[in-house]
Amino acid sequence: MDIKLKQLGKRYKFEWIFRGIDYEFKANTAYAVLGPNGSGKSTLLKVLSGYSTPSKGKINFFENNQPLEKDKTYLQLSYAAPYIELIEEYTLTEMLDFHQRFKQFQHKLNTESVIDLLNFSKSKHKEIKFFSSGMKQRLKLALAICSNTNFLLLDEPTTNLDAEGVAWYQSLIKKFTANRLVIVASNVEHDYEFCTEKISIIDYK
Protein backbone atom coordinates (compact mmCIF):
# COMPACT_ATOMS: atom_id res chain seq x y z
CA MET A 1 0.00 0.00 0.00
CA ASP A 2 1.15 3.54 -0.86
CA ILE A 3 -0.32 6.72 0.64
CA LYS A 4 -0.14 10.11 -1.04
CA LEU A 5 -0.87 13.30 0.91
CA LYS A 6 -1.76 16.43 -1.01
CA GLN A 7 -1.71 19.76 0.86
CA LEU A 8 -2.92 17.95 3.97
CA GLY A 9 -3.76 20.11 6.97
CA LYS A 10 -5.51 19.85 10.33
CA ARG A 11 -6.80 22.79 12.31
CA TYR A 12 -8.45 23.05 15.72
CA LYS A 13 -10.49 26.24 15.93
CA PHE A 14 -8.05 28.90 14.66
CA GLU A 15 -4.80 27.01 15.18
CA TRP A 16 -3.17 24.90 12.49
CA ILE A 17 -1.68 21.73 13.95
CA PHE A 18 0.00 21.05 10.62
CA ARG A 19 -0.64 22.13 7.03
CA GLY A 20 0.68 21.90 3.51
CA ILE A 21 1.88 18.30 3.75
CA ASP A 22 2.75 16.96 0.31
CA TYR A 23 4.27 13.56 0.96
CA GLU A 24 4.20 9.97 -0.23
CA PHE A 25 4.45 6.98 2.09
CA LYS A 26 5.72 3.99 0.12
CA ALA A 27 4.85 0.35 0.64
CA ASN A 28 7.34 -1.89 2.49
CA THR A 29 8.96 1.11 4.21
CA ALA A 30 9.13 2.20 7.86
CA TYR A 31 8.74 5.91 8.70
CA ALA A 32 9.28 7.82 11.94
CA VAL A 33 7.23 10.97 12.56
CA LEU A 34 9.27 13.19 14.89
CA GLY A 35 8.64 16.40 16.80
CA PRO A 36 8.27 17.74 20.34
CA ASN A 37 5.32 16.85 22.55
CA GLY A 38 2.18 18.59 21.39
CA SER A 39 3.54 19.26 17.91
CA GLY A 40 0.95 17.19 16.04
CA LYS A 41 2.48 13.73 15.63
CA SER A 42 -0.50 11.93 17.11
CA THR A 43 -2.91 14.14 15.19
CA LEU A 44 -1.28 13.15 11.92
CA LEU A 45 -1.66 9.46 12.75
CA LYS A 46 -5.31 9.99 13.68
CA VAL A 47 -5.92 11.65 10.32
CA LEU A 48 -4.10 8.89 8.41
CA SER A 49 -6.16 6.25 10.21
CA GLY A 50 -9.49 7.94 9.55
CA TYR A 51 -9.98 8.50 13.29
CA SER A 52 -9.99 12.24 12.54
CA THR A 53 -10.86 14.08 9.32
CA PRO A 54 -8.44 16.57 7.72
CA SER A 55 -9.37 20.25 7.63
CA LYS A 56 -7.73 20.65 4.24
CA GLY A 57 -6.19 18.55 1.52
CA LYS A 58 -6.54 14.92 0.50
CA ILE A 59 -5.30 11.46 1.41
CA ASN A 60 -5.17 8.93 -1.43
CA PHE A 61 -4.46 5.23 -0.95
CA PHE A 62 -3.05 2.94 -3.62
CA GLU A 63 -2.46 -0.78 -3.93
CA ASN A 64 -0.25 -1.95 -6.81
CA ASN A 65 -0.51 1.59 -8.22
CA GLN A 66 -4.31 1.35 -8.35
CA PRO A 67 -6.56 3.65 -6.25
CA LEU A 68 -7.98 1.89 -3.22
CA GLU A 69 -11.43 2.64 -1.83
CA LYS A 70 -11.40 3.93 1.74
CA ASP A 71 -13.67 1.13 2.98
CA LYS A 72 -11.12 -1.40 1.77
CA THR A 73 -8.22 0.69 3.04
CA TYR A 74 -9.22 0.42 6.68
CA LEU A 75 -9.42 -3.36 6.45
CA GLN A 76 -5.67 -3.17 5.78
CA LEU A 77 -4.96 -0.91 8.76
CA SER A 78 -3.72 -1.75 12.26
CA TYR A 79 -3.27 0.97 14.86
CA ALA A 80 -1.88 1.01 18.40
CA ALA A 81 -1.86 4.10 20.60
CA PRO A 82 -2.19 4.92 24.32
CA TYR A 83 -5.56 6.62 23.71
CA ILE A 84 -7.14 3.64 21.91
CA GLU A 85 -9.30 1.74 24.38
CA LEU A 86 -9.59 -1.99 24.85
CA ILE A 87 -12.85 -3.71 25.78
CA GLU A 88 -11.98 -4.09 29.44
CA GLU A 89 -14.94 -6.31 30.33
CA TYR A 90 -13.51 -9.02 28.06
CA THR A 91 -11.01 -11.56 29.25
CA LEU A 92 -7.75 -11.80 27.32
CA THR A 93 -9.01 -14.87 25.45
CA GLU A 94 -12.30 -13.16 24.60
CA MET A 95 -10.49 -10.06 23.36
CA LEU A 96 -8.23 -12.03 21.04
CA ASP A 97 -11.12 -14.13 19.73
CA PHE A 98 -13.17 -10.98 19.10
CA HIS A 99 -10.31 -9.26 17.28
CA GLN A 100 -9.98 -12.17 14.85
CA ARG A 101 -13.58 -11.76 13.75
CA PHE A 102 -12.39 -8.60 11.96
CA LYS A 103 -8.67 -9.12 11.34
CA GLN A 104 -6.75 -12.36 11.28
CA PHE A 105 -3.26 -12.72 12.67
CA GLN A 106 -0.10 -13.30 10.61
CA HIS A 107 1.89 -16.51 10.25
CA LYS A 108 -1.02 -18.74 11.31
CA LEU A 109 -1.01 -17.24 14.79
CA ASN A 110 -4.15 -17.89 16.83
CA THR A 111 -5.48 -16.96 20.26
CA GLU A 112 -3.32 -19.46 22.12
CA SER A 113 -0.11 -18.63 20.27
CA VAL A 114 -0.60 -14.89 20.78
CA ILE A 115 -1.15 -15.50 24.49
CA ASP A 116 2.15 -17.39 24.49
CA LEU A 117 3.80 -14.57 22.57
CA LEU A 118 2.57 -12.14 25.22
CA ASN A 119 3.69 -14.53 27.99
CA PHE A 120 0.25 -14.05 29.55
CA SER A 121 -0.75 -17.70 29.97
CA LYS A 122 -1.64 -17.14 33.64
CA SER A 123 -3.93 -14.26 32.66
CA LYS A 124 -5.82 -15.82 29.74
CA HIS A 125 -9.11 -15.80 31.68
CA LYS A 126 -8.53 -12.52 33.51
CA GLU A 127 -10.64 -9.50 32.56
CA ILE A 128 -8.57 -6.79 30.90
CA LYS A 129 -9.72 -4.19 33.43
CA PHE A 130 -7.51 -5.99 35.95
CA PHE A 131 -4.40 -5.77 33.74
CA SER A 132 -1.58 -3.39 34.62
CA SER A 133 -0.91 -0.46 32.29
CA GLY A 134 2.11 -2.30 30.89
CA MET A 135 0.07 -5.44 30.18
CA LYS A 136 -2.58 -3.39 28.39
CA GLN A 137 0.07 -1.74 26.25
CA ARG A 138 1.58 -5.09 25.32
CA LEU A 139 -1.85 -6.34 24.31
CA LYS A 140 -2.52 -3.26 22.15
CA LEU A 141 0.82 -3.75 20.41
CA ALA A 142 0.27 -7.46 19.84
CA LEU A 143 -3.19 -6.87 18.35
CA ALA A 144 -1.81 -4.29 15.91
CA ILE A 145 1.60 -5.70 15.02
CA CYS A 146 0.54 -9.33 14.71
CA SER A 147 -2.50 -8.60 12.53
CA ASN A 148 -2.32 -9.55 8.89
CA THR A 149 -2.50 -5.99 7.54
CA ASN A 150 -0.39 -4.01 5.09
CA PHE A 151 -0.49 -0.70 6.97
CA LEU A 152 0.64 -0.33 10.60
CA LEU A 153 0.42 2.84 12.72
CA LEU A 154 2.17 3.00 16.09
CA ASP A 155 1.87 6.04 18.37
CA GLU A 156 4.39 6.11 21.23
CA PRO A 157 4.50 2.32 21.24
CA THR A 158 6.62 1.78 24.37
CA THR A 159 4.48 3.95 26.66
CA ASN A 160 4.12 2.15 30.03
CA LEU A 161 6.69 -0.52 29.09
CA ASP A 162 9.75 -1.33 31.19
CA ALA A 163 13.10 -2.37 29.70
CA GLU A 164 11.94 -5.96 29.25
CA GLY A 165 8.79 -4.71 27.53
CA VAL A 166 10.82 -2.51 25.18
CA ALA A 167 12.96 -5.50 24.18
CA TRP A 168 9.77 -7.53 23.62
CA TYR A 169 8.37 -4.76 21.39
CA GLN A 170 11.56 -4.63 19.35
CA SER A 171 11.51 -8.40 18.82
CA LEU A 172 7.88 -8.17 17.69
CA ILE A 173 8.83 -5.49 15.16
CA LYS A 174 11.58 -7.70 13.71
CA LYS A 175 9.27 -10.70 13.38
CA PHE A 176 6.11 -9.13 12.04
CA THR A 177 6.74 -5.92 10.07
CA ALA A 178 8.45 -7.19 6.92
CA ASN A 179 6.73 -6.09 3.70
CA ARG A 180 4.47 -3.60 5.50
CA LEU A 181 4.10 0.16 5.49
CA VAL A 182 4.88 1.19 9.08
CA ILE A 183 4.55 4.70 10.53
CA VAL A 184 5.74 5.37 14.09
CA ALA A 185 5.13 8.63 15.97
CA SER A 186 7.54 9.08 18.87
CA ASN A 187 10.43 11.04 20.37
CA VAL A 188 11.98 7.93 21.92
CA GLU A 189 14.68 6.44 19.72
CA HIS A 190 14.13 2.82 20.67
CA ASP A 191 10.54 3.18 19.39
CA TYR A 192 11.63 3.99 15.85
CA GLU A 193 15.26 2.89 15.45
CA PHE A 194 14.22 0.39 12.77
CA CYS A 195 12.69 3.16 10.61
CA THR A 196 14.61 4.07 7.46
CA GLU A 197 12.76 7.34 6.78
CA LYS A 198 12.16 10.27 9.16
CA ILE A 199 9.69 13.15 8.94
CA SER A 200 9.68 16.23 11.17
CA ILE A 201 6.14 17.46 11.80
CA ILE A 202 7.62 20.88 12.65
CA ASP A 203 8.39 21.32 8.95
CA TYR A 204 4.65 21.61 8.32
CA LYS A 205 3.67 24.31 10.80
Q: What is the DSSP string of 174-204?
A: HHH-TTSEEEEE-S-HHHHTT-SEEEEGGGG
Q: Tell me, yes or no, whether 10 lies in a domain.
A: no
Question: Are 106 and 148 spatial neighbours (Cβ–Cβ below 8 Å)?
Answer: yes
Question: Hey, what's the torsion of the CAs at 189, 153, 114, 191, to 10 degrees?
Answer: 0
Give the residue numbers spanning the domain of 152. Answer: 29-51+74-204
For the purposes of burial, counting CB atoms within 10 Å of the CB of 141, is it exposed (0-12), middle (13-18) or buried (19 or more)? buried
Q: Tell me, yes or no, whether 23 lies in a domain.
A: no
> How many structural domains compose the chain?
1
Tell me how many degrees the CA angle 58-59-65 measures, rounded to the nearest 5. Answer: 125
Please give the pLDDT value at position 107.
Answer: 85
Q: Tell me, yes or no, whether 22 lies in a domain.
A: no
Please give the pLDDT value at position 38.
Answer: 92
Q: Tell me, yes or no, whether 37 lies in a domain.
A: yes
Amino acid identity of residue 110, one-letter, is N
Kindly state the percentage of the chain with pLDDT values over 70.
Answer: 100
Q: What is the mean pLDDT of residues 10-16?
A: 93
Q: Tell me, yes or no, whether 152 lies in a domain.
A: yes
Q: Tell me, yes or no, whether 175 lies in a domain.
A: yes
Single pTM value for the model: 0.95
> Mean pLDDT in the chain?
96
Q: What are phi and psi of 158, to 5 degrees?
A: -100, 15
Query: Over the stretch 120-177, which tens digit does the pLDDT of each residue have?
Result: 999 999 999 999 999 999 999 999 999 999 999 999 999 999 999 999 999 999 999 9
Q: Tell me, yes or no, whether 58 lies in a domain.
A: no
Query: Over the stretch 79-136, which tens digit does the pLDDT of each residue have?
Result: 999 999 999 999 999 999 999 999 999 989 999 999 999 999 999 999 999 999 999 9
Q: Tell me, yes or no, whether 136 lies in a domain.
A: yes
CATH classification of the domain holding 184: 3.40.50.300
- The DSSP bridge pattern shows strands 15-25 and 2-12 to be antiparallel
- The DSSP bridge pattern shows strands 197-200 and 30-34 to be parallel
Q: What is the mean pLDDT of residues 55-69?
A: 92
